[in-house]
Amino acid sequence: MKIANQRIAITGAAGGIGAALCHRFADAGARLLLVGRNPVALAELTLALKQTAPESCVASLVLDITEPEAPARLRDEAQARLGGLDILVNNAALPCFGALSDMPLDEIERLVATNLTAPMRLTRAVLPDLLALKQGGIVNIGSTFGAIGFPWFAAYSATKFGLRGFSEALRRELAGQGVDVLYAAPRATRTAINDDRVTAMRAATGMTFDDPDFVAKRIVTAMKRGAAECAIGGPERFFARLNGLLPRLIDLSLAAQTRAMAPFATSSQSTTET
């Protein structure tokens, strides 16, 4: 995927990884449609992008991606503001940390709608335009937990496994038609998606955090290379492979960590992730 002069729509643009990606895209000469629910955060990001990349073309769209009309609104806005779209980055997501049995049903439904159904609906809406251009691509931001089902993150893991499967299948479906599909899997990253409880749990269990800009750099490099997947972190990549081959071994190796995480996962009302 080329970045320079490309028209890129990105959901969750004002979030930690989203904003870092936007800065890298703008610096590389892309034209951006920033999508998010918070108009103030979008305005602040637009200003920041204009300051660091004065030549950048930045439009924004206040949109809840789970709304029924969201795919049509995104496509129409990209057409009106950028003259079309070359790349869609499905980055927005909700967190979810805790025991599944504590999780309200509507929270699980919102999670699936945001993290899985919305990226599929948005992709479906823009795909005919990309195929007509025979270029560009779809970038889906998943997670390490999309390859390793993680205790206390069951619903979140399910959405990211789904997004990974969707990306893989679509990549194969579109092969040879000029449209790339990249599935990117960050590991723990220092952003607002991790609340104090998750941050404390991660510190207690020795998980490290990446910087959002490091993650964005890796994703942009993978886009430029035309990679199919970008899994961040050597150990995480190794364990994901091992999990595919010998999942019972990973069950055993995660047992102690599952117990160490339990007090954080069950201490109060559930919400939040990676």
Ligand X SMILES: NC(=O)c1ccc[n+]([C@@H]2O[C@H](COP(=O)([O-])OP(=O)(O)OC[C@H]3O[C@@H](n4cnc5c(N)ncnc54)[C@H](OP(=O)(O)O)[C@@H]3O)[C@@H](O)[C@H]2O)c1
The catalytic position among 150, 156, 166, 183 is 156
Residue 246 CA from chain centroid, whole number? 27
Stretch that binds ligand X, among 10-18, 23-31, 78-86, 259-267 (CB under 6 A): 10-18
* Contact call for residue 45 and ligand X (CB under 6 A): no
User: Binders of ligand X among 161-190, rule CB under 6 A?
Assistant: 186, 188-189
> What is the smallest separation between the CB atom of 63 and ligand X, expressed in angstroms?
6
Strands 137-141 and 31-36: unpaired
**Left (φ > 0), alpha (ψ -120 to 50) or beta: where does 221 sit?**
alpha
* Contact call for residue 36 and ligand X (CB under 6 A): yes
Instruction: Identify the residue among 64, 129, 168, 195 touching ligand X (CB under 6 A).
Output: 64
Question: Bridge-partner residues for 231, per DSSP?
Answer: 185
Determine the number of helices (DSSP H) and then strands (DSSP E) in the chain: 10, 7
* Contact call for residue 147 and ligand X (CB under 6 A): no
Give the residue with the Cβ less far from ligand X, 177 or 241: 241
Instruction: Identify the residue among 1, 6, 10, 11 touching ligand X (CB under 6 A).
Output: 11
> What is the smallest separation between the CB atom of 178 and ligand X, expressed in angstroms?
26
d(CA 249, CA 174): 35
Residue 249 CB coordination number (10 Å): 12
* Contact call for residue 14 and ligand X (CB under 6 A): yes
Instruction: Identify the residue among 60, 114, 123, 167 touching ligand X (CB under 6 A).
Output: 114
Of all residues in the shown chain, the one whose CB is closest to ligand X is: 15
Give the residue with the Cβ less far from ligand X, 46 or 143: 143
User: Residue 120 class from Cβ within 10 Å (0-12 exposed, 13-18 middle, 19+ buried)?
Assistant: middle
Give the residue with the Cβ less far from ligand X, 43 or 131: 43
Catalytic annotation on 183? no
Of residues 87, 31, 86, the one with CA closest to residue 60: 31
* Contact call for residue 17 and ligand X (CB under 6 A): yes
CB 169 within 8 A of CB 126: no
Of residues 90, 94, 126, the one with CA closest to residue 113: 94
Positions marked catalytic? 156
Residues binding ligand X (CB under 6 A)? 11-12, 14-18, 36-38, 41, 64-66, 91-94, 114, 141, 143, 186, 188-189, 191-194, 274
